[in-house]
Structure 1
Amino acid sequence: MQLIDIGANLTHDSFDPDRDAVLQRGRDAGVVQMVVTGASREHSPQALKLAQQHPGELFATAGVHPHHASEYTAECDAELRELHAHAEVVAVGECGLDYFRDFSPRPAQRRAFELQLQIAVDTRKPLFLHQRDAHADFVSMLRNFDGRLGPAVVHCFTGTRAELFDCLDQDWHIGITGWLCDERRGQHLRELVKHIPANRLMIETDAPYLLPRTVKPAPSHRRNEPMYLAHIVAELARDRGEDVAVTAAACTATTRAFFRLPEPNA
C-alpha cells in the first residue's frame, strides 16, 4: 500500500531527537508522502524548510491555527503570503475556528480565519481547515466566500452526523485521524465514515497528537507518528466494509488530486 499522511506536525519539538528515524518508520509502514502542518507564525516556516529538505516526499501547509489567532498581524499575513510563493506549500492553513478552548478571543479567531480565506482566494490553493465547537460560524464564514475558494478539507473531523453532511453538502473533503480509534470520544465516527464518498476521504495522523488507542501492543509513550497511519486506514476500512487495499488506494488517489502532489520519488 502507498499511504499519504495529510496532517503531521513534524516540526513539533517532540520529534527533534529522532525526526529522521520517524520519517524512516513511516516509509517502512508504506507512507510515501506527508503534508507537514504549518499552524503558527513560528512553525509554518519550519514546515516549509522541512519540505524543502525532502523534495517529493514532504510538503507543507502554511497558516495560523485559531489557538494562535491573536498573533495574526499585518506582518504575519505578509509572511504567510511569502511562504505561499513556494511550490512546496500546497495548502492554506491550518486555519479555522476553535470555540472549545478559546485560546484566542473569538473575534480574533474570525478575523484571522477571514484573512486566510482571502489568501486561499488569491493563491488558488486548497484549504486545510480546523473546526471545533464552532460549526455554525465556520460554515457561515466559508459561505461568505462561495464561488471564490478552491477545494477544502476539514482536517481531523470529529463532529456529528449533521455536521458531516453539512460539510459534504458544501463539497468539502474530510480528514480522518486516530480519533476514530478512541472508544471514549470517537465511537460515533465508526458509523459516520461509511457515508463519506471515496473521492472526498483522506487520512492523517495529526502526529504527535491522537495516538490510536487501539494499537496493540500499546506503545510505552503517547506520541503519535506517521507509521501509525497504516493502523488508522485498517480500522477505517473495517468500518467502511472495504478491503484495506481499496480504502488505502482511494484515499491516496483523492489526496494526490486534492493537493496536486506528484507521484512519489522512485
Structure 2
Amino acid sequence: MNKSTLIDIGVNLTNKRFEKDREEVIRRAQIAQLNGLLVTGTSVEESQKALTLCRYYQTIFPDFLYSTAGVHPHDADHVSPDYLDQLRMLAKQEEVKAIGECGLDFNRNFSEPAQQQKVFSEQVALAAEMQMPLFLHQRDAFEPWFSTLSPYLSKVPAMVAHCFTGSKSELIQCIAADMYIGITGWLCDERRGQSLRDIVSLIPLNRLLIETDAPYLTPRTIRPKPKGSRNEPCYLPFIAKEIASITGLDQEEIAWQTSRNAKKVFDFPSKKEMYK
C-alpha cells in the first residue's frame, strides 16, 4: 500500500487565511502525497467560490480538487428566496460531489433554530432529489438532526458525519444508520478530544473518512510544531497516524481504506488504478 492514497474530504480552501499562498498550500498537499481534496461550500456564495477555485486550478492540479455545495447552519438566516435553485444548479456541475456542509448547530445559534431546521430539511430533500451524498454538520442538536435524516437513509447515496465529536451512543446510531464518520485533528488533542479518542476504535474501517477541516483544528501532534496556527491539508497524515496509534491498526491500511471510502462516496476518479 502507498500512502499517496490519502484524500482530505474537508478543506475550507476558500477561507481568507489561504489567500496569500493557496497554490503553495495545494502543492504542499501533493508533496505530502495526498491524492485529492474536497473543498467545502458553506453558503451559496462560498459554494460558488469553491467551484470556481476547483476549475481555476484544474490545469495545474488535474483531477485533484473537487467541492461541495450547501448552506452551513450558521448561514441559514441569510439564504435568499431562490437559494435552493442556486444550489441545484451548482450541484449539476461535475466538480461538485456532495450537498453540504449542512446541518444543525444549537451550540452557537448564529441562525435561529427554526430557520436552521427549515434550511437543513430542504437541503436533505435536495440531496435525495439530486441523488448526491450529504456532507453533514451537527453540534448540540443530535436528536433533531438524526430525526431529520432518518426518513432519507435509504433515499440518499451516502451521509457523512463531518468532523464527528459526538458521544458513544451517537456514534453507534450513526454507524447503525450506515453513515460515514469524518475524523479530524480534534482526535489529536487529548485535552478536549479524549472522549473521541475513547470511541474511535468503534468506527469500522469501511465507514471511516479523514479530513483536516483546514484552516481549523490543527493536530497538536505535529512535530516540529508549525510556526502558525493555520491547519493545512498536508497535515492529514498526522490524523491517520493518530488513529493508527489509538486503534492499533496499520497506518497504511487506514490511508488506503479511507481513500477507498472517499472515492466511493464522492465519486473521485481512480488514479493509477489505486482502488482495484
TM-score category of the 2 structures, normalised to the smaller one: over 0.9
Q: Which amino acid aligns with 2:236?
A: L
Corresponding residue SS for 1:144: helix
| In the alignment, structure 1 residue 107 sits paired with structure 2 residue 110 | no
Instruction: Provide the TM-score with structure 1 as the length reference.
Output: 0.97
Which of 27, 31, 34 is matched with 2:34 structurally? 31
Aligned residue pair count:
266
Q: Which amino acid aligns with 1:77?
A: L
Cα deviation for residue 149 of structure 1 reads 1.9
Flag the 1:10–1:114 CA change in 2: closer, same or farther, 3 A: same
Which runs of structure 2 are paired with 1:177-256 in the superposition (5 Å)?
Answer: 177-256=184-263
1:207–1:224 Cα contact (<8 Å) kept: yes
Deviates more, 1:47-56 or 1:164-173: 47-56
2:153–2:177 Cα contact (<8 Å) kept: no
Cα deviation for residue 74 of structure 1 reads 2.5
Cα distance in 1, alignment partners of residues 154 and 27 from structure 2:
41
Deviates more, 1:128-137 or 1:74-83: 74-83
Match of 2:162 in 1: 155
| CA distances 1:98-145 after superposition (whole Å, capped 9, x unpaired) | 011100000010001011011101110000000000000000111133
Which runs of structure 2 are paired with 1:1-266 in the superposition (5 Å)?
Answer: 1=3, 2-53=5-56, 54=58, 55-264=62-271
| CA distances 1:169-201 after superposition (whole Å, capped 9, x unpaired) | 111000000000112211122221111111100
Corresponding residue SS for 1:250: helix
Deviates more, 1:216-225 or 1:103-112: 216-225
Cα distance in 2, alignment partners of residues 101 and 265 from structure 1:
44
Q: Which amino acid aligns with 1:30?
A: Q
Flag the 1:207–1:265 CA change in 2: closer, same or farther, 3 A: farther
Q: Which amino acid aligns with 1:200?
A: R
Cα distance in 1, alignment partners of residues 191 and 82 from structure 2:
41
Cα distance in 2, alignment partners of residues 265 and 12 from structure 1:
31
2:42–2:100 Cα contact (<8 Å) kept: yes
Flag the 1:100–1:69 CA change in 2: closer, same or farther, 3 A: same
Q: Report the identity percentage.
A: 46
Corresponding residue SS for 2:231: coil
Cα deviation for residue 264 of structure 1 reads 3.6
Q: Which amino acid aligns with 1:203?
A: I
Instruction: Provide the TM-score with structure 2 as the length reference.
Output: 0.94
Cα deviation for residue 213 of structure 1 reads 1.3
Flag the 1:218–1:170 CA change in 2: closer, same or farther, 3 A: same
1:41–1:71 Cα contact (<8 Å) kept: no
1:33–1:264 Cα contact (<8 Å) kept: no
Unaligned runs of 5+ in 2: none
Corresponding residue SS for 1:180: helix
Cα deviation for residue 52 of structure 1 reads 1.6
| CA distances 1:13-36 after superposition (whole Å, capped 9, x unpaired) | 110100010001111111110100
Cα distance in 1, alignment partners of residues 106 and 126 from structure 2:
23
Q: Which amino acid aligns with 1:45?
A: Q
Q: Which amino acid aligns with 1:246?
A: E
Corresponding residue SS for 1:42: helix
